[in-house]
Amino acid sequence: AMQDKYRAYIAGSQEPYKGRFFRIAHLGYMSGYDILTALSAVEMALSDFGFENPSGKAVAAAEIILKEHWK
């Protein structure tokens, strides 16, 4: 659903975290803007699946970190 609707891709985690975490899939370099877009897609997809998720919280947290380290 996330791939079709939001064009963002996730992959499962590996041992010892298999089934507990997911990874944002990418091919090579991701810019700060790519990271914000991916996090936004994850938030929207979680909301679609009924998870109680304050919209924008992950994106806001990432923006703080990116602003501190932006090059």
Q: What are the structure tokens assigned to 65, written together?
A: 């970190």
Q: What percent of the chain has pLDDT over 90?
A: 38
Task: Over range 36-48, report the average pLDDT.
Answer: 91
* Domains in the chain, number: 1
What is the pLDDT confidence band of residue 2, given thresholds at 50, 70 and 90? confident
**Do 42 and 55 contact (CB within 8 A), yes or no?**
no
DSSP bridge partners of 24: 10
Query: Can you give the residue range of the structural domain that contains 50?
Result: 2-69
Tell me the pTM. 0.78
Which segments of the chain does DSSP mark as H helices, in order?
Answer: 2-6, 32-48, 57-69
